[in-house]
Every structure is written in C-alpha cells, then in structure tokens.
C-alpha cells in the first residue's frame, strides 16, 4: 500500500510540475495526474471515473472533501491534500471541464449471474435516482460502469456513516447484505455505453 501511495505521489508531482492544459486552469494537472487526461483512466482501481459527472455532483464532492463530509479512500489520500489547495473558482472551472467530457464506463469483468441479481436490487432500491439501465438523473452520481473498487469503498463509507449522504441513500445502503452489495457491484460493472 505504501509503495502504491508513493508511486501515486511521484506521478502526481511529475504531472503537477508540467504545464497546464491550454483550455483549463493551472489546477488541471492535479486532477489528471490521478484520474487521467480523459477523466476515466485512473492510476488505481479505486480512482473513480470523473469524466461526465454533473457539475453539481463534482462541486459537491470537492466541497465535501474540504469540510470533512467526505473521507479520502486509502489509495487516494492525496485527494484531501489536493482539494485544500483549490480555490472556489478552481473547483467551478474543473467541474465544468470534466462535466463536458464524455462518460466512459470502466468495462470491468463481472459475474453475469450476480449482475442479474444486482439488477433487481438496483431497480427496487436505486433506479429512482441512478437510472434503470442507463445513468439516471445527472444530479446524482453515475454508478453504471463506475469502477467496482471505488463503489465498494463508497458503500462501506456510507454504511459506516463516514460519508455525508441523503437519508434515502442511508436507508438503501444500510439494508444491503454483503451478498446483495456484491451483486449490485457486478450489475454496475456490467454496464457498457450505448452506441
């Protein structure tokens, strides 16, 4: 784990020291160093896809890191440090930049039988906000095609009360068994973008 964090830190420093992208702020390298220039090719399995995230979702996440409402995942400990270096204008600009990018699902391997079970769980508990077979209301985070390790960390944080959430989310997450969580993760992993 320490080697992974050290590697992430070195990569981050290399990218941070490079020139900023012409159409983005000087803060852009802080994001692309871990999430990739496309916002979807993160350096670790639990680095989330941020391309295509709604502006409000992105901004809410950044401000939640700033005020302690959201904890950083173990392999993303730099996230909390990076966020403190951003101004409100930086956050707004970065949110607009990544929102304009196309969302690219991770395309990870999944178990078809578990995914079928997970689809039922999703439709009964999550689809109202997160969509049925495609990403739903853009005001809510995209879960279809998001990385399994990232979603797994988020669910654990919600279940432990370590991440701010809306009451319906708390209710839905708290009701999940480990087997249901695994099925749900496989369903989200099964998503492939429509052509």
Domain count of the fold of the chain: 2
DSSP code, position 42 = -
pLDDT at 51 over 80: yes
**pTM score, whole prediction:** 0.80
Do 147 and 75 share a domain, yes or no? no
Q: 71 near 162, Cβ under 8 Å?
A: yes
Of 67, 99, 131, the one marking the end of a domain is: 99
Total residues belonging to the chain: 195
Q: 70 near 61, Cβ under 8 Å?
A: yes
Do 24 and 63 share a domain, yes or no? yes
Span 40-50, average pLDDT: 91
Do 24 and 56 share a domain, yes or no? yes
pLDDT at 19 over 80: no
Give per-residue pLDDT as tens, 59-111.
998 998 888 777 776 656 778 888 888 999 999 999 999 999 999 999 999 99
Do 9 and 53 share a domain, yes or no? yes
Do 95 and 126 share a domain, yes or no? no
**107 within domain boundaries:** no
Residue 169's domain spans which residues? 112-189
Q: What is the CATH number of the domain that holds 60?
A: 1.10.760.10
**134 within domain boundaries:** yes
**104 within domain boundaries:** no
Do 92 and 120 share a domain, yes or no? no
- The CA distances from residue 144 to 6, 56, 106, 123, 188, in Å, are 30, 18, 9, 12, 5
- The CA distances from residue 193 to 3, 102, 186, in Å, are 34, 10, 16
> CA-CA distance, 107 to 18, in Å (whole number)?
30
- Residue scoring higher pLDDT (88 or 193): 88
**Which pLDDT belongs to residue 159?**
86
> CA-CA distance, 91 to 68, in Å (whole number)?
16
> CA-CA distance, 193 to 107, in Å (whole number)?
9
**Which pLDDT belongs to residue 2?**
36
For the ranges 13-17, 54-58, 65-69, 133-137, the maximum mean pLDDT occurs at: 54-58
Of 73, 99, 125, the one marking the end of a domain is: 99
Of 72, 99, 126, the one marking the end of a domain is: 99
Do 117 and 36 share a domain, yes or no? no
**Which pLDDT belongs to residue 7?**
37
Do 16 and 83 share a domain, yes or no? yes
Do 68 and 22 share a domain, yes or no? yes
- Cα angle for residues 58, 63, 64 (degrees, 5° grid): 95
Do 86 and 173 share a domain, yes or no? no
Do 86 and 125 share a domain, yes or no? no
Do 10 and 85 share a domain, yes or no? yes
Give per-residue pLDDT as tens, 123-180.
998 988 888 766 666 667 889 999 999 999 989 888 888 887 888 888 889 899 999 9
**Which pLDDT belongs to residue 75?**
56
**106 within domain boundaries:** no
Burial class (CB in 10 A: 0-12, 13-18, 19+), 2: exposed
Q: Angle at which helices 148-159 and 167-174 pack, to 10 degrees?
A: 100
């Amino acid at each position: 784990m320490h080697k992974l964090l050290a590697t992430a830190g070195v990569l981050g420093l290399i990218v941070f020291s490079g020139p900023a992208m012409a159409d983005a702020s000087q803060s852009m390298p802080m994001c692309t160093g871990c999430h990739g220039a496309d916002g979807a090719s993160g350096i670790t399995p639990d680095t989330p896809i941020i391309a295509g995230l709604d502006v409000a979702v992105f901004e809410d996440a950044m401000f939640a890191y700033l005020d302690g409402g959201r904890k950083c995942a173990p392999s993303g400990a730099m996230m909390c440090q990076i966020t403190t270096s951003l101004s409100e204008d930086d956050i707004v600009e970065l949110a607009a930049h990544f929102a304009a990018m196309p969302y690219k699902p991770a395309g990870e391997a999944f178990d078809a039988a578990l995914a079928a079970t997970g689809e039922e769980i999703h439709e009964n508990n999550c689809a109202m906000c997160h969509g049925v077979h495609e990403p739903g209301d853009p005001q809510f985070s995209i879960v279809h095609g998001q990385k399994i390790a990232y979603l797994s960390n988020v669910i654990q944080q919600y279940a432990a009360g370590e991440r701010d959430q809306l009451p319906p989310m708390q209710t839905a997450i708290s009701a999940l068994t480990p087997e249901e969580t695994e099925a749900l993760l496989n369903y989200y992993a099964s998503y492939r973008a429509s052509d």
